[in-house]
Amino acid sequence: MHAVLVFTFLGSLLGLFYAYVGYPILIAMLARVLGRDDPPTVSDRTDDLPEITVLIAAHNAANHLTERIENIFACDYPPERLHVLIASDGSTDATPRLVSGFNDGRVKALSFQTRRGKAATLVSAVESVTSPVIVFTDATTRFDRDSLLRLSRHFSDSAVGVVAGRVTMVDGQGAASESLYWKLENKIRGFEARLGITLGASGAIYAIRRSMFVAPSRPTINDDLVLPMLVRMTHQCRLVFDPTARAYSPSTGGIRCEFLRRQRIGLGAMQCLPTLRGLLQWKNLDQAAAFASHKLIRWCGPFLLIAALVSNLILATDLRFQGLLLLQAFAYGAAAYGLVTSRRSLASRLARAGTSFVVMNAAIGVGICRYLIGHDTVIWNPTERSSWSHIPATSEMVHASEKRAA
C-alpha cells in the first residue's frame, strides 16, 4: 500500500511537471532542431488573394455587432473579395434585425430561431458560404488592419487547410494583459507550428479552406479545437499558426468569469474526445503525441492535484513526506493570498499566478465532473467582456470610428 501511495504521489507530480514545464521545454528543443520556418507564398497581385467570408456565430450580440462589422471592413483587404456572414443562434435581442438592416450588400444574416450552441450554428452557416476561405471570429473581437491579409496569404499554398492567428487580451486601457499561462500557450503554439503539429486555434481568429471543412460527428463547446483538427486529420493538410495575424479580445470580468470559461473548456474536453478518435490512427501519431502532451494531461491536472494532495496527506506519517506536504500547504496558501492582494510586488504577482493556476484546474475539474454526471450541454452564455467603445485602440487595430470617418 505504501508503494502504491508513493507511486501515486510521484506520478501525479511528474504528470503536472511534464504538462506545464517538461513539454514546453521539449517542444522548444524539438522546434529548434527539427522545426521549419516556411515563409508563406506571397503575391503582389490583388487578384491572387482569395475571396473570403468572415463568419460570426452570435447570440444576443446586438451591442457589439455594428462596431465589429465596421472593424472587419476597415481592414486592408480588397473590398470586393470580403464578405461577412452573421449567424444568429436563437438571439432574443435585436441581433437579426440589426444585421439585416446593415447598409452593405456584403453583409448577410442567417437567423436560427432555436438556440443550438455555437458549433452547430457554425456548421449550418458554413453550408451557405461559397467563398473559398472562411475566417472564423467572435462578435467581441477586433482585428489588426492587416490580419485578414496575413491569414489569407497562406492559402496560395494548396497544402494549407487551416491558418490560426494570435489573440492578445487587452485591459480597459487597451494595453496587453496576458497572463503567464497565455504567454506560454502562444509560445507552445509557435513551436508546434514549426513542427507541423499545431493543435486547434483560438476562436477569435482562424481560417479554414471551404473545400476542406469537416462537420463534427456531434456538437461540442470546444469548436475552435475540433474544427481545425478535423480538417488536419481528414485531409492531412497543413495547419499554420501565424502570430502576425493578430486579433484582440477584452479581458474577462475577473475570477468568476474566468472560472465559468474554464469550466466550459473542461466540459468540452470530454465532448471532443469521441470526435477526435481519428488521432488513434497511425498517420496521426505526431499530432496524437502533441494532443496528449499539450491537452490531455492538462485536462487531467485537477485530478493529479487531488491525487498528489491526498496521497501526501496519507504519507505524512513518514518524515520524508512531511516537508513536501508543508510545501503544498504553502503553495495553496499563496494562491489564496493571491485572491485578495492587489499589491504589485514580485511575491504578490507570483501569488496571483498561483491563484490562476488553482482556479483554472478547479474549473476544468468541475466541467469534467458535470459531463460525467450527465450535464452534456453545448449551450452557454458568452463570457462578459468590456465594451470596445471604452477601450483605446492599439497601434495597429482598426476601430469603427476610422471606417465612419472615411
Asked if residue 389 is part of any domain, the answer here is: no
Instruction: Please tell me the total number of residues recorded for the chain in this structure.
Output: 406
Asked if 292 and 222 sit in the same domain, the reply is no
Mean pLDDT of the 246-251 span = 86
Range of the domain at 197: 46-251+395-405
Asked if 56 and 186 sit in the same domain, the reply is yes
Report how far Cα 225 is from the mean position of its chain's Cα atoms: 7
Tracing cell 458568452 back to the chain, one arrives at 382
62 and 93 in contact (C-beta within 8 Å)?
A: yes
Asked if 298 and 245 sit in the same domain, the reply is no
Mean pLDDT of the 221-230 span = 93
Asked if 101 and 194 sit in the same domain, the reply is yes
Residue type, 360: M
User: Cα(194)–Cα(208) distance, rounded to whole angstroms?
Assistant: 19
Q: Which string of DSSP letters, residue by residue, matches 166-217?
A: EEEEE-TTS-B---HHHHHHHHHHHHHHHTT------TTSEEEEGGG----S
User: Cα(301)–Cα(295) distance, rounded to whole angstroms?
Assistant: 10
Q: What is the pLDDT of residue 403?
A: 42
pLDDT at residue 402 tops 50? no
Asked if 96 and 225 sit in the same domain, the reply is yes
Asked if 167 and 282 sit in the same domain, the reply is no
Asked if residue 39 is part of any domain, the answer here is: no
Asked if 287 and 228 sit in the same domain, the reply is no
Asked if residue 176 is part of any domain, the answer here is: yes
What is the tens place of the pLDDT at every residue in 190-211? 899 888 888 889 899 999 999 9
| Widest distance between CA atoms in the chain | 74
Q: How many domains is the chain built from? A: 2
Asked if residue 136 is part of any domain, the answer here is: yes
Asked if 209 and 275 sit in the same domain, the reply is no
137 and 243 in contact (C-beta within 8 Å)?
A: no
Asked if 174 and 262 sit in the same domain, the reply is no
- Grouping H, G, I as helix, E, B as strand and the rest as coil, residue 119 is helix
Q: What is the pLDDT of residue 396?
A: 58
User: Cα(151)–Cα(240) distance, rounded to whole angstroms?
Assistant: 9
CATH code of the domain in which 127 resides: 3.90.550.10
Strands 238-250 and 82-89: unpaired
